[in-house]
A and B are shown apart, each in its own frame.
Chain A
Amino acid sequence: MSNNLIVERERSLVELERRIAELREASAAQPLDMSSEIAALEEKYQLILRELFGTLSPWEKVHMARHPNRPTSLDYIARFDRFDELHGDRHFRDDPSIVGGLGTLRARNVMILGQQRGRDTKENLHRNFGMPAPEGYRKATRLARLASRLQLPIVTFVDTKGADPGISSEEHAQSEAIAMCLQAFSTATVPIVATIVGEGGSGGALALAIADFVIMLEHSTYSVASPEGCAAILWSDASKAEEAAAHLKLTADDLYRFGIVDQILPEPLGGAHRNARDVVTRTLDAVEAALSPLAALTPEMLLDHRYRKYRRLGEWQAEGLEPVRTAR
């Protein structure tokens, strides 16, 4: 049993996938032409696929973003030309829920950072379900500063429910760790390109997502709090997460409309894991395309551009309830 809606829904496809595969095998083994039967089944398969995944509600997207087979940060990092992982916060320990290091993307040297969740229970325990502790953010801060010193663009992959909310994280000043990471990204004198590859939850996600260009996969989500967290905060009932997801405007389309996301990357029907190789290739293409024009800017221009980009984000109304206007 899975508690993932998408995984559950995929079960109904398994039988059909098996029949198509069997028919293919049989067809190859004997002279009988079964291509029309196979084509009919495949057409039916595509129809069901479209029915199941053609339009996804915000809550379904939350589950898609959490799908156990969805490509994670390391799947993207594996496709860089090189990657040399750097470890630790230099104070206390290495946090495996944030992976970072030096790498090369199509002949360009970069600093890579990404939140990393696990695919199974064992890996999730090791990676703390992709919820970074202060040590993870301190590693990210350290590497972001190193990137500025070496003039290496920063490439990040965002995939976390949120920062770890445990006792040890509080004792080690989680707030300070995130606040400093935000500051390091805000003041980095090199281009930053962030991609929301899975779930972007709250300040713990934003810590790796202050960027000059933000890419988001079509079915990723990015929200002020996880739907469960939002429901707990507003209604003291985490089980109302589906309702919260409907309110939060956490889809790529919503965030593109708000100007928080600069580009949406389409996913295959049924989600990124159905053709992970292609999704990773197109993502890295998009990252490279975003980096090129940014590389031409001076540090002063970059900082100014980044300041104005975030300065703009906010709408309000003036006294007397005039129409909503946008910030300078």
Chain B
Amino acid sequence: MWTKCPKCGEVLYRRDLAANLFVCTRCDYHFRMKAYDRIASIVDGEFTELGADVLPGDPLDWSDRRSYPAKLKSDRERSGLSESVVCGLGSLGGRRIALGVMDFHFRGGTMGQVTGERITLLLEEARREHVPCIIFAASGGARMEEGMLALMQLAKTTAAVSRFMAEGNFYVVVLTDPTSGGVSASFAFQADVIVAESKAMIGFAGRRVIEQTIRQRLPDQFQTAEFLLEKGAIDMVVERADLKGTLVRLLEYAAHE
């Protein structure tokens, strides 16, 4: 029923929070959105999922404190998702789009084989239909429990992005909190236009890794969307409330008609 804002401590009624796109009504804190909430906030109406029947396996037979299948099962129960990305086709501002949305609540948004496979299926379908592709990134990087097969998804998605873009198709990525590692270093930073949600943390290396390497605390604004904009790494920083409108406007420039 109620959710407490982790930034200002305000207790928020969940329905109000949802109506405000999961942005704190008091301090403007942007909560990490669930994939289906995000999709609902972006597409006009219907959304046809793609690759939903492709589910993660356990290629490395991984088990540390818990087995990998057990980790997947609890993430699945907690997030209501079967993988860290939901992909599909819908329309935005009356135009058909291919849309992929990553969700940090499933394994920290890490990219496993199925994440890479679904994104590749999405880009291949967008290429076939010659429609723009929008991907919302949120990821801690490649997934450790799938080892090198996870890392290879950087190569696979890159190849799919390259093919898609080579044919005059428009590719937009929205970086959301947080995006780092193998996802930021592959399909996320290959987009034609890179939008970032306000205050999102975005980088290659995680904050902790950098702090351990240089043995000092980083300033708070380091790796924020605003910092990346200033450094010239992204095109724009947008508040969540303005995101849909911004995407609609961008798509109009790539209308081709």
A residues adjacent to B (C-beta < 8 A): 163, 165-167, 169-176, 178-180, 182-183, 186-187, 202-203, 206, 210, 222-225, 229-230, 232-235, 238, 243-244, 247-250, 254-255, 258, 260, 306-307, 310-311, 313-319, 321, 324, 327
Contacts and interface: CB of A to CB of B under 8 A. Distances in A.
Contacts of B84: none
Nearest to B191: A179
Interface string B183-225: 0111111100000000000111110111011100010001100
A233 B144 contact: yes
B154 A316 contact: no
A145 to B, nearest CB: 13
Contacts of B148: 222-224, 248-250, 254-255, 258, 260
B231 A316 contact: no
A233 B182 CA distance: 13
B149 interface: yes
Given A202-B142, A316-B57, A163 B218 contact: no
Contacts of A182: 154-155, 158, 185-186, 190
Given A182-B154, A234-B64, A314-B114, A203 B57 contact: no
B60 interface: yes
Given A167-B214, A173-B233, A310 B205 contact: no
Is chain B's binding surface mostly helix, strand, loop or mixed? Answer: helix
Contact of B158 (A176, A210, A248, A327): A210
Contact of A179 (B53, B117, B120, B188): B188
B161 interface: yes
Q: Closest 3 CB pairs between A and B?
A: A165-B205, A174-B204, A314-B113
A311 B75 CA distance: 26
B56 interface: yes
A176 B155 contact: no
A203 B186 contact: yes
A167 B218 contact: yes
A166 B213 contact: yes
5 contacts: A166-B205, A179-B189, A186-B158, A311-B159, A313-B156
A313 B57 contact: no
A170 B35 CA distance: 27
B55 A313 contact: no
A268 to B, nearest CB: 26
Contact of A311 (B56, B65, B120): B120
Contacts of B210: 165-167, 170
Interface of B: 53-60, 62, 64-65, 113-114, 116-117, 120, 140-144, 146-156, 158-163, 166, 180-182, 184-190, 202-206, 208-210, 212-214, 218, 222-223, 228, 231-233
Nearest to A137: B185
B222 A170 contact: yes
Contact of A314 (B147, B149, B214): B149
Given A182-B186, A260-B152, A314-B116, A250 B231 contact: no
Contact of A178 (B140, B152, B204, B232): B204
Nearest to B210: A165
A179 B206 CA distance: 17
A88 to B, nearest CB: 19
Contacts of B149: 258, 260, 313-315
Given A313-B152, A313-B155, A165 B185 contact: no
A234 B151 contact: no
A63 to B, nearest CB: 19
Contacts of A247: 60, 62, 64, 147
A222 B213 CA distance: 22
